[in-house]
Structure 1
């Protein structure tokens, strides 16, 4: 009887850990989805409040890293809010900026304190013609697709964004589509804070935009073989060219 009780206790403990892991996984998924919903409507204060106050927290965006809470606020409340909604927190009439969050692959660490996740976003954005004369971006509409490889941290029982790393993959003019996108369609950061009052704390050496099709590395190994993807297979040479002619593989560090 004692052995059966021990086995039952072991089973209960195993199930408890699995339920906790699945619950954490779902909380991280919801956190990222909520990030997208707030971002859609330019609720930048609410976005920044999803981030950890950890001194190593950051958001990586278009060639720069915005460090700690001050850097995060500089990007969202400073740069984005001023560019899109003239400094307010919330939407302005006629401005569309939808960030669909999808295809989440979430992995919780053994301790249940950290997580890594890969998400995809498909953005539809633009302005209605009725405000084209009053909004600084004018009459414009575009598509954007990108990949997140993020890290999350559990603080006082609550999951928060620790490091958001966004890799914009492609941009496209709505009328002509992605086949006509000019290289360097969106400029990457070139100057840091405080020289640029809304700039990142540091520049990233990695940059890629369509038609560059290098693979954003996976935070997880292959689910069957347990192996990482070969570095050369993450590169993207021209048709028929040797892989050595391609730009170096991207990394997550």
Structure 2
């Protein structure tokens, strides 16, 4: 018969294993949630995309240099802006319109006490129109590549994981024909907020530029060995052979939830 010390040790081990299972399950569920978001986004299923977001005052989507806040902002971006621009307002794909999002290198960190998680995920997209599409399609006949990063936050509501803050940072765009040549300002940034721009964001994010800017998007996690954050000057991107002090300040994320 086990003595009290053995029982205490076994109980502690069971508690440790149970907490590890909770953590791993949370990280797995968040990973699945984001990949499901990507699959819906591929096929312009914008109603399904919008329903993945939390009904929470801190909810927002950061896209390019704009933030769409709350469920109303999420609806405006996906169901109004994207659906109207890409698929003439329907929910679902149209023949000849390609938007394949590859989600990879995901790093998920779940805090069971807070009931929240953070994720850093790489995005790589091939997109464009088939030659059979109407010449009247907005944007015309074109194909392009796109690469960027997500630094997202997720929250559990009534035991269900939802997207709280989605921050997508596209780095670069390039056409199939010319690659990165002429790709500067490939996608125009927002100039006005809602309601001046009926489909615009609720907020303009300062200090956002596309290629050739290569500054580091801040990491939600610390270095796994040293426990340190990356130094601010090391996240800058100076010109060749120039000191980091001459470069623009590093990008910042100041509203982490936990």
**Using the alignment, how far apart are the partners of 1:181 and 1:118 within structure 2?**
29
* Cα displacement (A) at 1:182: 3.5
* Cα displacement (A) at 1:46: 0.2
Give the alignment's TM-score, normalised by structure 1: 0.97
* Corresponding position of 2:65: 63
Q: What are structure 1's unaligned runs of at least 5 residues? A: none
Q: What are structure 2's unaligned runs of at least 5 residues? A: none
SS across alignment from 2:153: strand
Identify the match of residue 13 of structure 1 among 8, 12, 15: 15
* Corresponding position of 1:39: 41
**Using the alignment, how far apart are the partners of 1:250 and 1:210 within structure 2?**
14
* Corresponding position of 1:30: 32
**Using the alignment, how far apart are the partners of 2:18 and 2:179 within structure 1?**
50
SS across alignment from 1:229: coil
Runs of 4+ displaced beyond 6 Å: none
**Using the alignment, how far apart are the partners of 2:138 and 2:112 within structure 1?**
49
* Corresponding position of 1:144: 146
**CA deviations over 1:196-232 (Å, ceiling 9, x no partner):** 1101111111302111110111010111111100100
Identify the match of residue 3 of structure 1 among 2, 5, 11: 5
**Using the alignment, how far apart are the partners of 2:34 and 2:142 within structure 1?**
27
The aligned runs of 1:31-110 (5 Å cut-off) are 31-110=33-112
**Using the alignment, how far apart are the partners of 2:80 and 2:92 within structure 1?**
13
**Is 1:176 aligned to residue 178 of structure 2?**
yes
* Corresponding position of 2:241: 240
**CA deviations over 1:161-188 (Å, ceiling 9, x no partner):** 000000001000111112x034222111
**Using the alignment, how far apart are the partners of 2:74 and 2:34 within structure 1?**
16
**Using the alignment, how far apart are the partners of 1:52 and 1:175 within structure 2?**
40
RMSD (Å) for aligned C-alpha atoms: 1.0
SS across alignment from 1:115: strand
**Using the alignment, how far apart are the partners of 2:36 and 2:251 within structure 1?**
28
**Using the alignment, how far apart are the partners of 2:233 and 2:209 within structure 1?**
16
* Corresponding position of 1:163: 165
* Corresponding position of 2:155: 153
